[in-house]
Amino acid sequence: MNTEEIKLPKNKQETVGIFRKRPKYDEEGNRIYYKKKKLIKSRVNRSVGGDIAMVLFLLIAGVFMAFPMIYAISNSFKPLHELWLFPPNLIVKNPTGANYRDMFTILSNSTVPFTRYLFNTLFITIGATFLRVISASMAAYPLSKTNFKGRKTINKLITMTLMFAAPAAALANYLIMASFGWIDTWLCLLIPALGSSFSLYLIRGFVDQFPDSVLEAARIDGAGEFRIFWNILMPNMKPAWMTLIVFSVKDYWNQGATIYIYREELKTLNYAMGQIAAEGVARAGVSMAINVIMMIVPVLTFLITQSNIIETMATSGMKD
């Protein structure tokens, strides 16, 4: 007897939504469960010698890539006389925390509190990153999956804008910001994040690879365009927007003095740190401490998003 023709009791009938497989039942009305297959094998077929060689190679590569970070952290704890030794020492011999104490002492004595600089940087970084991810994702969906007149021309223009460096468009951007009255406000840093061509190009390249059959199946099930975008496309675009978050945090966290902001209370943390580092040789140790402080957030962001990207790439691949 065909299981699809069985009329099930009301307590065993289930609603089938988007992407949910229709449950199967036996002749008695009991649901049939299947054992899930592993997407990735637990062990690669490789000899013990190959495993050892791979571990050694990864260890050497990891140490090589971590060398600049280790050297910067070591320099931040060096006293002034050790910073000018030649050849330089990789590991500090007489560690001291004076560089960090001097940095916070200088910041605490400034006209604008350190917490204000930190708040400005966090607000701009989080706000601009959110706007870049949302605007690029929403624009990439119709540009990739919708056929309308002028679509190819718009995509070509987006690609062409990547050839122009930011300083080349600085004057035009300033005139636009001035015409709207956004100079010396946060809007001049947040609003341009909505039109980032690099962000749109990155997200659109990922959306192009998303299978159209999945979107058509969702439309047949009655899903609207916004629901398709938010509940289907966005979760499956996780590798793309997590990668965009890494680039965005790096750009905005390291945002220094700009041609749009003049009030000291709106300056960023990187600007304040740069002012301290520019005071000369006597602040060389403080400059090293500043470098370590400024690289903490981008490094942590990369480590967090890297694990999520690898996990999503491995488990959510979709084929048409």
CB-CB contact of 255 with 186 (8 Å): no
Over the range 1-24, which residues count as b (16 or more CB within 10 Å of their CB) and which as e? Answer: eeeeeeeeeeeeeeeeebeeeeee
pLDDT, tens digit (0-9, with 9 covering 90-100), for 287-315: 888 888 888 888 888 888 776 666 545 44
Whole-structure pTM value: 0.71
Can you tell me the distance from the alpha carbon of 93 to that of 87, in angstroms, rounded to the nearest whole number? 14
Q: 128, 252 in Cβ contact below 8 A?
A: yes
Q: Which residues, including other chains, have CB under 8 Å from residue 244's CB and lie 6 or more apart?
A: 132, 133, 136, 199, 202, 203
Fold topology of 114-315: MetI-like fold (1.10.3720)
**Strand extents, DSSP E, the chain:** 24-25, 31-32
Can you tell me the distance from the alpha carbon of 112 to that of 101, in angstroms, rounded to the nearest whole number?
Answer: 18
CA distance 140 to 146: 10
List, for residues 141-199, the tens digit of each pLDDT value: 888 888 888 888 888 888 888 887 777 778 888 888 889 888 888 888 888 888 888 88
Both tokens of residue 96?
């001291």
pLDDT tens, residue order, the chain (320 aa): 444 444 444 444 444 444 445 667 777 777 776 655 554 444 555 677 778 888 899 888 888 888 888 888 888 888 877 877 777 777 888 888 888 888 888 877 777 888 888 888 889 999 999 999 999 999 998 888 888 888 888 888 888 888 877 777 788 888 888 898 888 888 888 888 888 888 888 888 888 888 888 888 888 888 888 888 888 888 888 888 888 888 888 888 888 767 888 888 888 888 887 777 776 666 777 888 888 888 888 888 888 877 666 654 544 444 44
Neighbour count for residue 90 (Cβ, 10 Å): 10
Q: Which residues of 122-161 are buried (b: 16+ CB within 10 A; e: fewer)?
A: eebbeebbebbbebbbbbbbebbbeeeeeeeeebeebeee
Which residues contact residue 281 at a Cβ distance below 8 angstroms, ignoring those fewer than 6 apart?
none
* Residue 14: per-residue pLDDT: 46
Domain boundaries, the chain: 52-96, 114-315
